[in-house]
Amino acid sequence: GSSAYSLHCYLVCCFGLNLCRHYLGLFVFFAEGLGFFVILDIGLLIWIGHGWSQLNDEIDCYERRTKTYVQAYYAAQKNIEMPKSSVLVCNGNFYIWKEEKALNLFAASYKAEFFKKIVIDIEDIYFYSREGEITTRTYGYGGDSSYSVLTGAHGKINPVVIDTSVNDTRRTQLVYKKGNTDCSLNFAYEDYLVLKRLIPEKDIAVAQIAQH
């Protein structure tokens, strides 16, 4: 009887020990999993914080650069007297006007490429002309469907999408000489009409006829 009781106690102890090992293993498993997610969350927060800090630095840099441009623009503008006849060109970034025998160009916005007044003697202008073209590219995608290898059935057919991209390289170019150097200025395509009104004799068609 004592041997059977001892065996019973031994089996109970073994079962209890195995049960403890089982639950201890589960605890370690969940603890490791929880630790992994905690580390992942911490890493994610650090990554977000770094990205946010970098974004703020870029915004501050942009604002400082913009402030510098604005100050430079208004400082240059104080020394310029633009007549009421001046016309906006280059998509609104510059003013242009004719004064005596010269063509004048000055920035109309701090977003202009430069803030220095440009004065071009009309006799130094070779010509102005329109250049470039508009090209379009049409392409489509879609129309395919999913296919099940197991059943051989086709799924929903994706709609066909047609898209068109437009590339506009048109511009108006003014060619002139500065000392012994040939130079050019690029205007918006529609600015051709402004130049046509200010210096019609420098239109490339008229200039070519005048040369002959």
Task: Provide the pLDDT for residue 13.
Answer: 58
Distance CA 195, CA 148 (A): 65
When computed from its CA atoms, the radius of gyration of the chain, rounded to whole angstroms, is: 38
Q: DSSP character for 203? A: B
CB proximity list for 167: less than 8 A, separation 6 or greater: 134, 135, 136, 137
Across the chain, which has 212 residues, the per-10-residue mean pLDDT values are: 55 57 53 57 72 75 76 74 84 88 86 80 95 87 59 64 86 94 93 94 84 62
Task: Provide the pLDDT for residue 188.
Answer: 93
Distance of CA 130 to the CA centre of its chain: 28
Task: Provide the pLDDT for residue 201.
Answer: 94
Task: Provide the pLDDT for residue 162.
Answer: 81
Task: Provide the pLDDT for residue 160.
Answer: 73
Looking at the DSSP bridge assignments, the partners of residue 102 are 99, 121
Token reading at 168: 């506009």
